[in-house]
Structure 1
Amino acid sequence: MAAIGDVARLAGVSKSTASRALSGGGHVAEETRLRVERAAAEIGYVVSPAAASLVTGRTKNIGVVIPFVNGWFFGEVLEGIERALLAAGYDLTLYNVAGGGEDRARVFDYFLARRRVDAVIAVGVDLDAHEVASLERREKPVLCLGGYAEGTPRISIDDVAAGRLAADHLIQLGHTRLAHVGGTGAARSVRSVPGGRRRGFLEALSSAGLAPGGRATVVEAEMTMPGGLAATLQLLGHPGRRPTGIVAASDELAFGALRAAERLGVAVPGELSVIGIDGHEYAEMFGLTTVEQYPAEQGRIAVDTLLRLLAEGPADDPLPDSGAPLPTRLVVRSTTARAPR
């Protein structure tokens, strides 16, 4: 089995220089580093993560906390994170905190400490003060992607603006009877993703003089296709109060809304316009009008930002564009049209 001494002899350097070149700890001239890497590759030497951590104090491992592993958005974000971490020479340890309660507490109080990660990316998860404090005690930087935690760096789209843009699109098409199919808990968690999109919807209605509860309705559902189906079946179940336009808090909710309209014989977009938010990979297939975002790119940006927080990238202003929201765009397809007369 190849050892660091073999690499050093082949590269013509000391063992300490070879170790620094392969672990990233301390300064090594670029020409020397490349010579050591070629020598290591030639004899098949792979750096031991445990040994490297003794030199650098780093595990080269990032913890990712996520509420779901089977949703489209989260899968796309994870792919972007994984590719960026691999390119930077980091491993990934994934924790699913959908269960909440004691299972979630163990992730923050035990597992993240035991598995020794250098930093944590929280994807679509709102962290409470205890969870943040638990990580800070262990000097682990935390970055929120989409979720929220008091006092920690955060990157995200502007969910309020996304909800407002989606509602404004329907209002400009002449719709006055509007409904919002939002995520569960949106009303009580205003800083969450569904909470922001609900707020944007309501702001657009207020600006247009359309008061919710009168000519607009807000309902909540799990942000899935079955959730959108069930909520929209209820919305459309009273012909006299049917909305002519639905703003769904996610594309998956919007897909469920389209299925509900089909089941009830409500024509889209002739009788009902539907718009989503996310830019799901199936949005084009469904002809869905949506406010598009780019989750895989968001994953890459999250890793770049975290490496800056770990002082492995440019030190100035680690947040992209001084913390400005990540980009979105309105994509108009065939599920929205002018309001029926």
Structure 2
Amino acid sequence: MVGIDDVARRADVSTATVSRTLSGRGIVSAATRERVLRAASDLGYVVSSAASSLASGRTRNIGVLVPILDRWFFSRVLTGIAATLQRSDYDVALYALTSDADERRRVFEASLRRQRIDGVVVVSMALGAGEIEQLSGLGLPVIGLGGRLAGLPSLVVDEIAVARCATQHLLDLGHRDIAHIGLRPQFEGDFHIPSQRRRGFEAALSDAGLAPRDDRFAAADFTMAGGHDAATRLLRDAASRPTAIFAASDEMAIGALLAARELGLSVPGDVSIIGVDGHDLGAFFGLTTVDQFPSRQGERVAAAMLDALHADTAAAAPAQPPEQPAGLEFALVARSSTAPPA
């Protein structure tokens, strides 16, 4: 069986250098690292996770807390996290954190305290003060994604700016009668993202000298079916039909596209439609969107976690990233679903 001594002899370095290289702890030159990795690959050497954990104090697992597993957006974020961590030989330990108080208590009081992880990423969910205190007490780096967590570093998107971007695109095309498909405040989840997007929409209208109208808001859930139903309500009366719709998610926007076509309307000839997210199906439907690059969000937060773990390899505990929230990028992607009004 190939051991660390065999890798050291093949690479002509000490066993300590091999250990530092393969564990990611300690300073190793790029040339030496390449030589050690090549030797390990040639010999088929695989690091024992148990031995590595005992030697380094690291499990090479990152815990990821997510609220929902079966939604497109979260799956894309998780893909970015997993791909980035795997390139550095870290695994993902996934925790689905629901609103059930007993389940959350088990996660924070038991699962996360079993010393099976080296850091925690919290994806798009708010935490209670007690939960944040428990995470801080782990002595591990903790990073939030998608919303600000008190006292913890986080990566966030400016949702108001995202909605302004989408609405301004329609205004720049010449639209003045614009409807919004969103979510009623009593049904939205953590961080009030739908409300932020509605605020951005209304702020862009106000800046253009247009007063927001209650009859130009249609509530829906964040699904294609919800967008379809809301758009049907907005578009079925020809006498009061808006010339454009801004939907607060791409899935709702795709539903609105389908509703418009069922009503015999041309998109964008009769109505322009724009969404938010950067959904994989957006290009297929020709949907104009404000892309938030969810996979890239996952890559960014995973890279921040790796930086925190490697910031000071000689320290007794990993360094925490700065607490100042870092902004995530977004960009308008114009396609065929928007055009000047007829």
Q: TM-score, length-normalised on structure 1?
A: 0.84
Alignment match, 1:258: 257
1:313–1:285 Cα change, 3 Å: farther
Secondary structure of 1:65 counterpart: strand
Deviates more, 1:7-16 or 1:273-282: 7-16
Alignment match, 1:332: 334
Alignment match, 1:75: 75
Q: Distance in 1 between matches of 2:190 and 2:28?
A: 49
Alignment match, 1:271: 270
Alignment match, 1:168: 168
Alignment match, 1:51: 51
Q: Does 1:61 align with 2:61?
A: yes
Alignment match, 2:97: 97
Q: Does 1:157 align with 2:152?
A: no
- How far the C-alpha of 1:111 sits from its partner, in A, is 1.9
Q: Distance in 2 between matches of 1:335 and 1:35?
A: 53
Alignment match, 2:288: 289
1:271–1:33 Cα change, 3 Å: closer
* Matched-pair contact (CA < 8 Å) for 2:141–2:319: no
Cα displacement string for residues 269-306 of structure 1 (whole angstroms, at most 9, x for unaligned residues): 23222111122222222111111232222222211111
Q: Distance in 1 between matches of 2:16 and 2:320?
A: 33
1:188–1:87 Cα change, 3 Å: closer
Secondary structure of 1:46 counterpart: coil
Q: TM-score, length-normalised on structure 2?
A: 0.84
Secondary structure of 2:266 counterpart: coil
Q: Distance in 1 between matches of 2:180 and 2:219?
A: 8
Q: List gaps (5 residues or longer) in structure 2.
A: none
Cα displacement string for residues 169-195 of structure 1 (whole angstroms, at most 9, x for unaligned residues): 222333333221124648877944323
Q: Distance in 2 between matches of 1:186 and 1:336?
A: 31
1:45–1:220 Cα change, 3 Å: same
Over aligned residues, Cα RMSD in angstroms?
3.3
Q: Distance in 2 between matches of 1:190 and 1:103?
A: 17
Q: Does 1:126 align with 2:126?
A: yes
Q: Distance in 1 between matches of 2:234 and 2:111?
A: 43
Paired amino acid for 1:50: A
Deviates more, 1:176-185 or 1:293-302: 176-185
Paired amino acid for 2:251: E
Paired amino acid for 1:287: G
* Matched-pair contact (CA < 8 Å) for 1:166–1:291: yes
- How far the C-alpha of 1:223 sits from its partner, in A, is 1.5
* Matched-pair contact (CA < 8 Å) for 1:148–1:192: no
Secondary structure of 2:110 counterpart: helix
Paired amino acid for 2:275: G
- How far the C-alpha of 1:77 sits from its partner, in A, is 1.9
1:253–1:101 Cα change, 3 Å: farther
* Matched-pair contact (CA < 8 Å) for 1:222–1:228: yes
1:274–1:21 Cα change, 3 Å: closer
